[in-house]
Amino acid sequence: MAKPKKTPVNRRGFLKGAAVGAAAGAASVIAPESLVAAQPLQAQRPAAPLPTAAQIAAETEPLAAEHNVFTVENAGSDFMVDVLKSLGFEYIAANPASSFRGLQESFINYGGNKNPEWLTCCHEESATAIAKGYFNVEGKPMGVMCHGTVGLQHASMAIYNTFVARDPVFIIIGNALDANTRRPGVEWNHSVQDAAAMVRDFTKWDDTPGSLQHFAESAVRAYKLAMTVPMGPVILTVDGDLQERPAENRARLRIPKLTLSSPPAGDPGAVAEVAKLMVAAENPLILAGRVARTERGMQLMVELAETLQCPVQGGGRNIPNRHPLAGGGSVRNAEVILGLQVDDLWGSLHSFRDQQDRAYTSLIKPGTKVLSISANDLYTRSNYQDFQRYAESDISIAADVEATLPLLIEACKKLITADRRRVFEERGKRIAATNAQAVERARVEATYGWNASPISTTRMSVELWNAVRTKDWALIGGGGSRLWNIQKFYQTMSGGGAAATGSALPNAVGAALAHRKYGRLCIGVQNDGDLMYAPGALWTAAHHRIPMLLVMHNNRAYHMEVMHMQRMANRRQRANITNARIGTEIADPNIDYATLARSMGLYGEGPITDPQDLGPALRRAVERVERGQTALVDVVTQPR
Amino acid sequence: MRLLLLLAATLMASMLSAQTPAAPQASNAAAPRGNADNGKKIFTAYGCYQCHNYTAAGGGAGPRLAPRPIAFPAFTKAIREPRDEMVPYTAKILTDQELADIYAFLLTIPAPPAVNTIPLLNN
């Protein structure tokens, strides 16, 4: 280990010099009047009190040698950066915080601020949600850093959101464990015994390394666990002293090799039973949740649907939205229903009535076989209830669906006879015809309210589609519809999460960042209520030159809550049922989102209220995005 | 969220299916005389727009109501004693006259432009 250098420029020497300077400053106060007149403001300032002799003595007395160290080589956090670089992080998202100052400095100087590059975020919730959006596109985690106390408290909602979505985020939190070395005052407020405790209910794993070797092993383990299906957020609590003290025996520290676990495939026997029922069914139905993790996953889903000529509901990233088998079918009419990674299977099989007496009924007919393949049973927790209501099933396979699909497809193909194939082909034609009719109905439905002001959400979606349809586009938020032609895996987001307001904007920023290196035109519809949680993510996008277009769905309200207030007032037979917007609207004054965006360096247009103005505005914004800018078009919309 | 979307879709499907077979012109005779201007005001003030949009064209949370609304008796039933997720409007909070006013407003909503006259819907 290299011995830390001592420097001739120590703190007390600096203070001693400062005291002399202060004395010289005091002398200048009584300078000639001509000089005072030339600098009237300075002359009016009160003189700083001079240190007393006792204070100077206390600051200048020689210290014991062990306390007279001012520099460090081989800082522990340099090694931490080596470890994190080995894991392949492209970015670290963070709001700066003193509890990880050592590690941040190592990233930007020792690590050269490249792989990972530091993303300046205005809120820890934004940083975590940016990481979630990035994973949705890139398929690997982003690093996030925050204070172990106040920063993690800010980040907690976004962490829960990633947990519910089973998305991996790699979070490092700073802390000062040793009370003997904590700086007085604020650092005590920012220190905690068990930092990760407050989010442990909704994180997959955490650790507090006690040494650098421990850090290396836990970092690699954390990455591996985060990426093992079911994925999830992980946390490392990193002590300030461990960051800032020198790495002893650096040459002996070792970074373990990362080997990701292959996702678990379903039991072949159970998969064969699923295939048997699906092949034999006259009206099978596939309910697809978040199945496809990769482009390959989408290809496999299409292959399964085409093998069985079976309708797939809940398409998303699983099947192109114009595929003849995307949509159609009916839970009520199906005799075999295959749920693939459906988070709320019970909700898909029941109707639930939110009236004063809450009631539910099963949608499926007696004798319907319900089959499920899902990774959710492989990892769940107790306190937070994101596991949804228990769904009865006839076959349940705990496995990763994408890893299981090749087995299932093969098992189905083995069972399909020529007779069954003819039946499937006829069924496929019927489903395709039904889905084609649904597209036609959607075109006709779009005409209703076409020229309305505020602008209909359908008009907004169609105008956006028209502005991008000839380009290599990717949705980084909402906005797509049946009238779009969504063919590629990367053109939509995987979704998932806790319906956490405030997530959509930073998710979009993270997704657009991941798309940037592929040169895709990133677009998304952004809700007003969501944006106002932490609009600083707009600045992060502009600061880091992330090209993207956000189109505001500005209905000037937390509209879901408006509807809940109306429901409550009507249910209670209030004398006045006109108050639903109290506490739920975002108006008076109306927010000028275009100006807000421009203030943070974005290109901004709006508010747009005339539908005739929307198309040209979107085209201008798209041109800006194609030149590398971040853009926002504010559209005042119908509520829904 | 998914449950809400499913319920909304279910509601929309049931309401639209109820609309399709109705013969609106024939049923209008059964509707009491209403004040369309007042109906338009109530449509917003009492929250109908929240699910059906200001134009009654429907949206992500509720079905299209106009043009050609369903027959008035069915319309009344759907509002007073909704089958699905529809927020109930009893006579205590929405009088029969106000209900007629809303219906009168819905009758004033014109047909949309034909789909083949909108270039963006024909790409």
Percent of chain A at pLDDT exceeding 70: 91
Report residue A30's pLDDT band, with 50, 70 and 90 as the boundaries: very low
Beta-carbon contacts below 8 Å between A and B: 123
> Burial code of B97-112, b = ≥16 C-beta within 10 A, e = fewer?
ebbbbbbbbbbebeeb
Average confidence (pLDDT) over A345-359: 95
CB proximity under 8 Å: A 196-215 to B = none
Report residue B4's pLDDT band, with 50, 70 and 90 as the boundaries: very low
Give tens-digit pLDDT for A458-473: 999 999 999 999 999 9
pLDDT of residue A50: 80
Give tens-digit pLDDT for A565-598: 999 999 999 989 999 999 999 999 999 999 999 9
Q: What is the pairing mode between strands A350-353 and A359-362?
A: antiparallel
Residue B4, both tokens: 């809400």
Contacts B82 to A, Cβ<8 Å: 355
Q: How far is A315 from chain B (nearest CA, A)?
A: 13
Q: What is the pairing mode between strands A521-527 and A548-554?
A: parallel
Report residue B14's pLDDT band, with 50, 70 and 90 as the boundaries: very low
pLDDT of residue A47: 63
Q: How many residues does chain B have?
A: 123
Give tens-digit pLDDT for A225-272: 999 999 999 999 999 999 999 998 899 999 999 999 999 999 999 999
Q: A444 in contact with B at a CB cutoff of 8 Å?
A: yes
Interface test with B, best of A447, A451, A462, A555 (most B CBs within 10 A): A447
Contact B93 A580 (CB under 8 A): no
pLDDT of residue A445: 96
Q: How far is B36 from chain A (nearest CA, A)?
A: 18
Contact B54 A454 (CB under 8 A): yes
pLDDT of residue B23: 37
Q: Is the pLDDT confidence value at A377 over 90? A: yes
ipTM confidence score? 0.84
Residue A271, both tokens: 């998969």
Q: Measured between CB atoms, which of A348, A446, A640 is closest to B60?
A: A640
pLDDT of residue A63: 66
Contact B57 A449 (CB under 8 A): yes
Give tens-digit pLDDT for A513-545: 999 999 999 999 999 999 999 999 999 999 999
Specify whether the backbone of A15 is left (phi greater than 0), alpha (psi in -120 to 50) or beta.
Answer: alpha
Residue A607, both tokens: 């508010």
pLDDT of residue A275: 98
Cα A276 to Cα A394: distance, rounded to the nearest angstrom: 13
Contact A577 B46 (CB under 8 A): yes
pLDDT of residue A46: 53
Contacts B6 to A, Cβ<8 Å: 347-348, 351
Q: A449 in contact with B at a CB cutoff of 8 Å?
A: yes
Tell me: cis bond preceding A589? Omega within 30 of 0 counts.
yes
Give tens-digit pLDDT for B80-118: 999 888 999 999 999 999 999 999 999 999 999 999 999
The mean pLDDT of chain A is 92
pLDDT of residue B67: 96
Contacts A449 to B, Cβ<8 Å: 53, 55, 57, 112
Decide: helix, strand or coil at residue B38: helix
Contact A580 B60 (CB under 8 A): no
- CA distances to A61, A68, A69, A244, A620 from A64, rounded to whole Å, are 10, 7, 10, 21, 68
Q: Is the pLDDT confidence value at A28 over 80? A: no
Contact A638 B45 (CB under 8 A): no
DSSP A116: S
Cα A600 to Cα A620: distance, rounded to the nearest angstrom: 19
Contact B53 A452 (CB under 8 A): yes
Highest mean pLDDT among A38-47, A200-209, A315-324: A200-209
Report residue A16's pLDDT band, with 50, 70 and 90 as the boundaries: very low
Query: Contact at 8 Å (CB) between A597 and A538?
Result: yes
Contact A445 B58 (CB under 8 A): yes
Nearest-by-CA chain B residue for A343? B2
Q: Is the pLDDT confidence value at A29 over 50? A: no
pLDDT of residue A54: 76
pLDDT of residue B9: 41
Contacts B10 to A, Cβ<8 Å: 351
Angle A124-138/A536-543 helices, nearest 10 degrees? 60
Report residue A557's pLDDT band, with 50, 70 and 90 as the boundaries: very high
